[in-house]
Structure 1
Amino acid sequence: MLAAMSSALPSISSQATAVSRDRGDACPGTLRLHAADDGALARVRIPGGVLGVVQAEALAEAARRLGDGDLHLTSRGNVQLRGLRDGCGGELAGLLDAAGLLPSPGHERVRNIVASPLSGLDGRGLRDVRPWLSALDAALCASERARELSGRFLFAIDDGRGDVTGLGADVTVRAAGDDHALVSLGSADDAWRVAAGEASRAALLAAEAFLDVARESGARVWRVDELAVPARVLTRAVDRGLSGAEVAHVKERTHTPRTDGPPPGLVGDALSVHVPLGRLTGPQWRELTRVAAPTRDAELRLTPWRGVVVPVGGAGTTDTADALGRLSAAGLVTDAASPWPRVGACIGRPGCGKSHADVRADAAGGLSAAGRSPLPLYWSGCERRCGHPRGERIDLVAVPEGGYRLTVGAPGGPARTTVLTDPSQLATALAAITP
């Protein structure tokens, strides 16, 4: 049994930014739709990206019947339905509820959990974290306090390989050796070590401690790293919460190695595909569900890198070469050498009225140049840079006068910037700005 200890963390985050929100969180959900230029938008939380085939079919039906027919993957492994017609909110909620995608209306926007998508499938993680994922989601939905969390608050569950630890979660649970877990807050390197069986409960208690500190400080913040309080204040709140719940814990300073998400292709007992710009058409979605569904209890796992992992098992039930060929023919990326996983973009025109360009068309047009770039590219229609992923990359931000501002950060030095007036000249611009 671990003994409870108390010591102060040196900081909440080395990258903390004091923020005070002057309005409530307007993050869309299933019951709170967002009005976009292409119609209403719903964001369906899919904890850990895990979808049963029946649930996947229900999402496809909702997109076909009520929206633009496509499913849009987010950087948190969730699904957005776009182009929803007026007055469809009740019908949409009914469809999703019947499929088990709306277990708690009061918590539907706070079920933000990313998890290692290959956990239990390729032998690389320290443990299969699916039990932690299910337990945390159930605990969230059972907690009245959790309803106070922002729709932007994020949990991450890492099986020890380090793939989701770099996604900027507010609470991260990472598998450790000897049947333990490390629970950390924000971007700090310090963590609480707890028994594996307490991992999910400890994660929720840490989130509730954040709510306590935010309320007591009078700060209106949505994320852990926005708190402008001494680190010891949050540390003591977490210690009190864990001790009060009789969760044995010790604190330790830890460094987490970070790895990328799954590459396209056959990975262990799973097929991995990348979805160009995160947009899945109805036929592509149907092909994925056909590949996944030798049995009705099969599943898909959506990834935070806008991909899909399809567990296929080790019993030879799926002809993987044939399945990959079908998925490739449907327009999904199955080749790890493809440049598509290195290219991302916001929705852009015509879906967003704030966008200055059709960034997705420009991103597709510059695909060959992106494949030769030393860093991934992200195209944004305006300064808000919606959906921008973490990590070093080249930013292309559309400007009102036309064209793009192209920027690459220089480690230890100032950023380098140039202007791209003609997207067809991307290769030339990249050669000028990158070493």
Structure 2
Amino acid sequence: MARSRPDRCPGIVHPWPADDGGLVRIRVPGGRVALSALRALAEVAAEYGDGRVRLTGRANLQVRAMPLTGDRLADEALAALEATGLLPSRAHDRVRNVLASPQTGYAGGRADLGPVVAALDALLLGDEGLAGLPGRFLFTLDDGRGDLADRHKDLGLVALDRESAQLRVGEGWGEVVALAEAADALAGLARAFLSARGTGPAAAWHVDELPAPLAPARAPEPGADVRGEPLPFGPVAGGEHVPVGEDGLTSADLAGWRAETVVVTPWHGVLIPEPSPEETS
């Protein structure tokens, strides 16, 4: 697909100038966010925006009606967003697009992919070159339940068991790797994508737009090509999946939640894990 303009997917440092002000999108790798940070974000939205935190189909967060100075956020609004801890690197503002099975590590699945999410995010943040990934480039980490089968886009994996996974490379399949090495393998493929995508407005945004395959094609391993259902709303294994409508969340909505960390899901909901004994004491 020929491109005629650069990727303009919004972030925090790069807001979208909407009719009601700046729209900012906050990346939340794996959907996991400290409840304290989410509450702080809601307070920023109340002070500078329209008072609401909305969810995206990639399990990220958005705030609308933020003040702009030219095509950038006003300095005080940007500083307030940075103070939430949700912008660890201005340079990597738009590239931490990592989806993971929301229940991973809480209930079900073949493996806990939380450590893979954390390792991949650390590699993204630690590499200046990877800051050049397009804002629409997506990693999907499926723990083997198949809940992200219809969400996959660029690079990812499907867990085969507690210690191994098969990589996804575009619409195809890659090699089988140890989970302990999966983040490094994905980061390496992302660097290869950057080397192959070209430059200028016509540069590829996605793996399947490259002129040649990024890696040798392989057949899916038994159990890799699995397809599951979206996480239903209501009580689920490991917690409760709360639906969030188009109006998003306010500080008042978050007041009664009890968990150190919650998980934004790609179905416009939030998984509130069952509190640990320490949290209920």
TM-score (normalizing by structure 1): 0.59
Asked if the contact 2:57–2:266 (Cα under 8 Å) also holds between the matched residues in 1, the reply is yes
Distance 1:201 1:105 in 2: 22
The structure having more radius of gyration, on CA atoms, is 1
From 113, 129, 137, the equivalent of 1:145 is 129
2:250 paired with 1:261: no
User: 2:86 maps to which residue?
Assistant: 101
2:24 paired with 1:42: yes
User: 1:241 maps to which residue?
Assistant: none
Aligned residue for 1:272, secondary structure, equals strand
2:277 paired with 1:307: no
* Deviation, structure 1 residue 117: 0.7
* Deviation, structure 1 residue 113: 0.6
Asked if the contact 2:258–2:275 (Cα under 8 Å) also holds between the matched residues in 1, the reply is no
Aligned residue for 2:168, secondary structure, equals strand
**Residues 1:265 and 1:220: Cα distance change in structure 2 (over 3 Å):** same
CA displacement, residues 317-372 of structure 1 (integer Å, 9 cap, x when unaligned): 66xxxxxxxxxxxxxxxxxxxxxxxxxxxxxxxxxxxxxxxxxxxxxxxxxxxxxx
**Paired AA for residue 89 in structure 2:** S
* Deviation, structure 1 residue 135: 0.4
Asked if the contact 2:104–2:112 (Cα under 8 Å) also holds between the matched residues in 1, the reply is yes
Asked if the contact 2:165–2:176 (Cα under 8 Å) also holds between the matched residues in 1, the reply is yes
- Structure 2: any 5+ residue segments left out of the alignment? none
**Residues 1:116 and 1:208: Cα distance change in structure 2 (over 3 Å):** same
Aligned residue for 1:276, secondary structure, equals coil
- Structure 1: any 5+ residue segments left out of the alignment? 1-18, 239-250, 319-435
Runs of 4+ aligned structure 1 residues displaced above 4 Å come to 314-318
**Residues 1:221 and 1:269: Cα distance change in structure 2 (over 3 Å):** same
Q: Which has the higher contact order (CA 8 A, sep 6+)?
A: 2
* Deviation, structure 1 residue 269: 2.3
* Deviation, structure 1 residue 252: 4.1
Q: Could you tell me the percent identity over the aligned residues?
A: 38
TM-score (normalizing by structure 2): 0.90
Distance 2:249 2:113 in 1: 27
2:93 paired with 1:113: no
**Paired AA for residue 67 in structure 1:** G
From 270, 291, 299, the equivalent of 2:257 is 291
User: 1:334 maps to which residue?
Assistant: none
**Paired AA for residue 171 in structure 1:** L
User: 1:270 maps to which residue?
Assistant: 239
Count of residue correspondences: 275
**Residues 1:181 and 1:61: Cα distance change in structure 2 (over 3 Å):** same
**Residues 1:150 and 1:144: Cα distance change in structure 2 (over 3 Å):** same
User: 2:120 maps to which residue?
Assistant: 136
Asked if the contact 1:193–1:252 (Cα under 8 Å) also holds between the matched residues in 2, the reply is no
User: 1:372 maps to which residue?
Assistant: none
